[in-house]
Amino acid sequence: MITIAILLALGLLGVILFLLFRIQSLNSIFRGSFNKRVSASNRINAILFLVFLVVGGGAFFWSFSDAMKDFVVPVASVHAVWIESMFWTTMVVIGIVFVVTHILLFYYSYRYQYQDDKKAYYYPHNNKLEIIWTMIPAIVMALLVFSGWKAWTKITNPAPKDAVVVEIVGKQFNWLYRYPGKDNVLGVAKHTLIDATNELGIDFTDPKAMDDIFFSSGDIHIPKGKPVLFRIRSRDVTHDVYQPNFRIQMHAVPGMPTRFWFVPTKTNAEMAQETGNADFKYEIVCNQICGRGHFAMRATLVVDEPEDYQAWLAEQKSFAESNPDLVAKAKANQLQLVSAKEEAKSVKEAAL
């Protein structure tokens, strides 16, 4: 019933609009607007452009300042500060160009609207002007590129040797993470070894894997003021580790580990104070379309004072320790493999 009523209403609206259109059409024929070079609309549109400039410009500046409190993401790492300052410098530069060109565009449209007694100025080119307005943007771009390049190389240079390493692995639809333990080396992991318990496929025949600490949930902990290197991988499709406060972002690619290092500068407590959110936790966001749960891949992260971080780390048990049966199984497989090889070897020797 409601559907029919809505359709009828829409139909009626359509008829009314059509009639208005026909009336307007016939009206302009009677008024002879088609005989003039331009109709009254010309002046109206010229004024509307000016109105658009003023009202639109005003609305834009108002909305920008109104939204500012919501779009400024507090910085929390050393390089985030460089990126933030470069972002706003660039915004100021493009902002100036935006305002000046739009003023010219809409003002010229208004100022040079058609007048019967006027004639346009036949001015086909001016090469000197072309050179000037090529060189100035070129110089501005060069300056922007140079500062961008400097920041980029500093950010993407290899991490310092003493960086805290955390492996973050994306999968549909959550994050897994691993710490290298006391030996500071992540053990070998193979996708062929993955199962419900050993979600990373850690290979326990590798001695380096014995002290690895593995999580599939809970908070990642990192120390404030120290370099932290994220070793980023994926188990299935391409994901993306994105943390806006740290200004870090890097694809998680299956088959190719990637990395991003940074120095966090604010603990959770400090951020809680700054944002007014007592329950503040850094959140890691998946930023590459990965399927159904793409919007819900959340990892939480805690930045501790260095002592607190050490204390937390000391409390963690290695994955091998918590899952002795897994280790035993791996060792048994390895023994089987070794004895199979030896058997093959003796068979071969006997044959010769």
Interface residues for another protein in 80-99 (CB under 8 A)? 82-83, 86-87, 90-91, 93-94, 97-98
Please choose, out of 206-214, 249-257, 313-321, 332-340, the segment that lies near another protein by the rule CB under 8 A: 249-257
174 is a site residue for another protein (CB under 8 A) = no
Distances (CA, A) of 33 to 8, 28, 37, 65, 114: 35, 6, 8, 45, 15
Q: Residue 259 forms beta bridges with which residues?
A: 231
Among the listed residues 133, 322, 331, 338, the single contact to another protein using CB under 8 A: 133
Please choose, out of 40-48, 205-213, 221-229, 313-321, the segment that lies near another protein by the rule CB under 8 A: 40-48
Q: What is the DSSP code (8-state) at residue 30?
A: H
Q: Is 180 helix (H, G, I), strand (E, B) or coil?
A: coil
What lies within 8 Å, CB to CB, of 54 at 6+ separation is none
Sheet with 239-243, side-by-side order of all strands = 219-223, 298-304, 282-286, 239-243, 248-252
User: Least distance in Å: CB of 232 to another protein?
Assistant: 8
248 is a site residue for another protein (CB under 8 A) = yes
Nearer of residues 105 and 311 to another protein, judged by Cβ = 105
Distance CA 246, CA 82 (A): 11
Token pair of 233 as six digits: 């991988």
Nearer of residues 21 and 321 to another protein, judged by Cβ = 21
Is 185 exposed, middle or buried (CB count within 10 Å of its CB: 0-12, 13-18, 19+)? Answer: middle
- For residue 173, say if its preceding peptide bond is cis, omega within 30 degrees of 0: yes
Length of the chain: 352
Question: How many chain residues touch another protein (CB under 8 A)?
Answer: 114
User: Least distance in Å: CB of 156 to another protein?
Assistant: 3
Please choose, out of 55-63, 205-213, 306-314, 318-326, the segment that lies near another protein by the rule CB under 8 A: 55-63
Residues between 61 and 80 with contacts to another protein, criterion CB under 8 A: 63-64, 67, 70-73
Please choose, out of 32-40, 159-167, 210-218, 338-346, the segment that lies near another protein by the rule CB under 8 A: 32-40
Residues between 208 and 247 with contacts to another protein, criterion CB under 8 A: 232, 235-238, 240, 242, 244, 247
Draw the binding track, 312-341, toward another protein (x: CB under 8 A; -: no contact): ------------------------------
Among the listed residues 8, 11, 12, 114, the single contact to another protein using CB under 8 A: 114
Please choose, out of 113-121, 213-221, 317-325, 331-339, the segment that lies near another protein by the rule CB under 8 A: 113-121
Q: What is the 3-state secondary structure (H, E, C) of 181-231?
A: CCCCCCCCECHHHCCCCCCCCECCCCHHHHHCEEECCCEEEEECCCCEEEE
258 is a site residue for another protein (CB under 8 A) = yes
Nearer of residues 144 and 313 to another protein, judged by Cβ = 144
Distances (CA, A) of 215 to 126, 285, 314, 317, 346: 67, 17, 15, 10, 43
Draw the binding track, 182-211, toward another protein (x: CB under 8 A; -: no contact): --------xxx-x------x----------
Among the listed residues 10, 16, 19, 21, the single contact to another protein using CB under 8 A: 21
